[in-house]
Amino acid sequence: MRVLSGIQPTGRFHWGNYFGAIQQYIDLQSEDESYYFIANLHALTTVRDPAVLRQNSLDAALDLLALGLDPNRATLFLQSDVPEVSELTWLLMTGAPMGLLERCHAYKEKKAKGLAADAGLFTYPVLMAADILAYDSDIVPVGEDQIQHIEVCRDLARAFNHQFGEVFVLPKPRVLESTAKVPGTDGEKMSKSYDNTIAVFEPPKKMRKQVMRITTDSRAMEDAKDPDTDHLYQLFSLFAGDAAREEMAALYRAGGFGYGEVKKALADAAESYFSTAHARRAELEAHPERVREILDDGASRARKKAASVLLRAQEACGIKG
């Protein structure tokens, strides 16, 4: 089975990115043939500063490698380093129904808010489909909010296959297990758009300050509290082992504690949890040429596969052959 997923370099990865997706990408690399790309072409719909995009893309590669993505087991590359995908996008675009793209969430939501939507946003799902189809991907790990994009991909592939023969593999989504809300510092879902994130590679001192500013309720210290409905406990649970989690839950149910105590325990657990990744990232950052070699090697492997799929599609529709 071949697994593929991409992640946009629109900012530094936060705890929600890690527990919601990246952790599972790393787990999947030991089970299946895995392709993971940094979606810098997709990011162009929102990031307009070239220096920022270049730095974000490098940071994304450093972060993924530091967090455990193994280039010997998974293929890691920049989306823009595989031009075959852009060529494939056009082939799919020629058969993409306008109505199908008009129903896609991102475009609909922007139009509903009265905001201008450019062609990049409108055709974003077609580029995403090309990303998936270019590698004969069987499985695409996604959150529930991304399932529509896989359905669009399957629709486009099915239409192309109907017109020109069996060219594309029809991928299936694999809904990520940890798509439950990772709370942000305000208790809402952790998201850059809410400005409530804590970055995975935040310096420890700054991370601790952010943790200490996490909002809590005003219940008295002596009151018993339900850990399952408390976002501070939910965050602690992401980092703690079973024994520490149960001990903290018992403290909540008994009452007689302050939230500052929980925040300190959360900061300690988070710092310990990511300590190896922090050290690995510092080592990688000192050798950027190694990171570039990994990305180039990944792109070379990805291009080889994408070129064979593109040629298959070109021959089927009469562009070549």
The tens digit of pLDDT for each residue in 267-299 reads 999 999 999 999 999 999 999 999 999 999 999
Q: What does the DSSP 8-state code read for residue 192?
A: G
Q: What are residue 183's DSSP bridge partners? A: 189
Q: Which of 110, 111, 181, 264 is catalytic?
A: 110
Give the other-Cβ count within 10 Å of 313's Cβ.
23
The HSE-up count of residue 125 (CA atoms within 13 Å, CB side) is 26
The single residue of 111, 181, 192, 264 carrying the catalytic annotation is: 192
Q: Which domains does the chain have, with CATH numbers?
A: 2-181+288-317 (3.40.50.620), 202-273 (1.10.240.10)
How does DSSP assign 183-244, residue by residue?
B-TTSSBP-GGGT---BTT--HHHHHHHHHT-------TTS---GGG-HHHHHHHHHS-HHH
User: What is the rounded distance in angstroms from the CA atom of residue 133 to the CA atom of residue 249?
Assistant: 45
- State the DSSP code for 194: G
Q: Is 263 a catalytic residue?
A: no
Distance separating alpha carbons of residues 98 and 59, to the nearest angstrom:
36
Question: pLDDT tens, position by position, for the chain (321 residues)?
Answer: 899 999 999 999 999 999 999 999 999 998 779 999 999 999 999 999 999 999 999 999 999 999 999 999 999 999 999 999 999 999 999 999 999 999 998 888 888 888 778 899 999 999 999 999 999 999 999 888 789 999 999 999 999 999 999 999 999 999 886 545 799 999 999 998 899 999 999 999 999 999 999 999 988 888 999 999 999 999 999 999 999 999 999 999 999 999 999 999 999 999 999 999 999 999 999 999 999 999 999 999 999 999 999 999 999 999 998
pTM for this prediction: 0.93
d(CA 226, CA 250): 10
Catalytic residue among 172, 189, 263, 320: 189
